[in-house]
Amino acid sequence: SQQGEEDPQALSIQEGENATMNCSYKTSINNLQWYRQNSGRGLVHLILIRSNEREKHSGRLRVTLDTSKKSSSLLITASRAADTASYFCATFDSGTYKYIFGTGTRLKVLA
C-alpha cells in the first residue's frame, strides 16, 4: 500500500497562478523527491531534498520539508499549461530500504 499521500488529489488553476501540492509520509527518511508524470509517460525526477534540508529551489519549483510533521510541499510558481501533469512525492525509507511513492496530485493548468 502507498504510504505517501499527496494533497490535493486534483488541482485546477489558471496559467500564471501558483500551484501548491503537499505530501505526507509515515517513516523516517533520508530524502524526499518529487517526480512529474505527463499523461502516458514515465515519471521524471524534478527535485530531491535531503532530510537535513528545509527548503530547496530549482527554477520555478520550491520544495519544503518538515521532518517533525513528516510532510513536504511542492510549489510551482507562475504555472504554465505545460505544467499539466501528475506530481508524485517519493521517499526512501532508511529503515526498510524501500522506495515509496505517493498517490499523486493531478494538476491541470488552464491556458
Partner 1 sequence: DAGVIQSPRHEVTEMGQEVTLRCKPISGHNSLFWYRQTMMRGLELLIYFNNNVPIDDSGMPEDRFSAKMPNASFSTLKIQPSEPRDSAVYFCASKSAGLAGRTDTQYFGPGTRLTVL
Separation of alpha carbons 97 and 91, rounded Å = 10
Give the nearer residue to partner 1 in terms of CB position, either 85 or 102.
102
x/- letters, 17..56, toward partner 1 (CB under 8 A): -------------xx-x-x-----xxxxx--x-xx-----
**Cβ of residue 74: shortest distance to partner 1, in angstroms?**
16
Q: Which residue is it, cell 530524502?
A: 31
Separation of alpha carbons 64 and 6, rounded Å = 14
The residues of the shown chain that bind partner 1, judged by CB under 8 A, are: 2, 30-31, 33, 35, 41-45, 48, 50-51, 88, 90, 92, 94, 97-104
